[in-house]
Structure 1
């Protein structure tokens, strides 16, 4: 069962593709987009991360920190970030414990060993304000998040 709107997310620490720790508690005061993709080096996942990179400035203007998350190990995330030419977006590893954050959020696919494709947006206090799971083959549009935040700020 996918995490529901209104749920307060527990603090977590994961590692990004540059081997920096990413702590939810360090991002307090900012919205955080947990953009889960099943696996690095796949086409829809690449398009998903490139879409976040392309919209990074607008997300930042809306006080949103986007994180691209999958179960891939840090070295794989680093190689993939370089291949995709990502300069701003942090690719975060949910490698160990394997899919731990995805499992906590109810979006880990046990039968496949990776997460659902999902966008989960947290408010400035770490509470879920938007949660959408997509078909594995479906490309999430970052504009959905932008429109949602702009609409909720009015």
Structure 2
């Protein structure tokens, strides 16, 4: 899917890995990076989420909240976050209805029941500032992501 700058994403209410509901309205005055990854517990997805956690201070310094999203259920996301010893990154579950948010964004992959690997930077109104879709096995370049975050802060 091609995301257009300025286009609005649909509203979302998803549970994070601790079971708390998260929506765009929680981040008034901040930009949000929606970082979709296909499956928890896989190596490229681990590196993608670890890069968000490792650079959390850079996101915060640029008025941006990174969120990791996948279609995995909350208990799986919780166990994974604990295993990775994450302290800051919220990982959201688009599990039920299965992949509904990814479907609305046009990045749900029916064949595998997962989302694509996509980064979408939005403002607090849900307007797209920047986005990039990656091959499933491709690790997003965190330096490129941080450059876009900085340029749009």
TM-score of the aligned structures, taking structure 2 as reference length: 0.95
RMSD between superposed Cα atoms in Å:
1.2
Mapping for residues 1-154 of structure 1, pairs under 5 Å: 1-152=1-152
Kindly indicate whether the alpha-carbon contact (under 8 Å) linking 2:73 and 2:93 is maintained by their aligned counterparts in 1: yes
CA distance in 1, matches of 2:151, 2:24: 24
Please state whether the residue corresponding to 2:101 is helix, strand or coil: helix
CA distance in 2, matches of 1:128, 1:121: 6
TM-score of the aligned structures, taking structure 1 as reference length: 0.94
Shift of 1:7: 1.1
Kindly indicate whether the alpha-carbon contact (under 8 Å) linking 1:28 and 1:126 is maintained by their aligned counterparts in 2: no
Kindly indicate whether the alpha-carbon contact (under 8 Å) linking 2:10 and 2:105 is maintained by their aligned counterparts in 1: no
Please state whether the residue corresponding to 1:86 is helix, strand or coil: coil
Kindly indicate whether the alpha-carbon contact (under 8 Å) linking 2:40 and 2:72 is maintained by their aligned counterparts in 1: yes
Please state whether the residue corresponding to 1:41 is helix, strand or coil: coil
* Cα deviation code 1:36-89 (max 9, x no counterpart): 000000000000000000000000110111000000000000000011111100
Please state whether the residue corresponding to 1:145 is helix, strand or coil: helix
Which shows bigger deviation, 117-126 or 55-64? 117-126
Kindly indicate whether the alpha-carbon contact (under 8 Å) linking 1:2 and 1:107 is maintained by their aligned counterparts in 2: no
Unaligned runs of 5+ in 2: none
Please state whether the residue corresponding to 1:67 is helix, strand or coil: strand
CA distance in 2, matches of 1:14, 1:152: 25
Unaligned runs of 5+ in 1: none
CA distance 1:152–1:12, shift in 2 (3 Å): closer
* Cα deviation code 1:106-127 (max 9, x no counterpart): 1111111100001000023210
Q: Aligned residue pairs: how many? A: 153
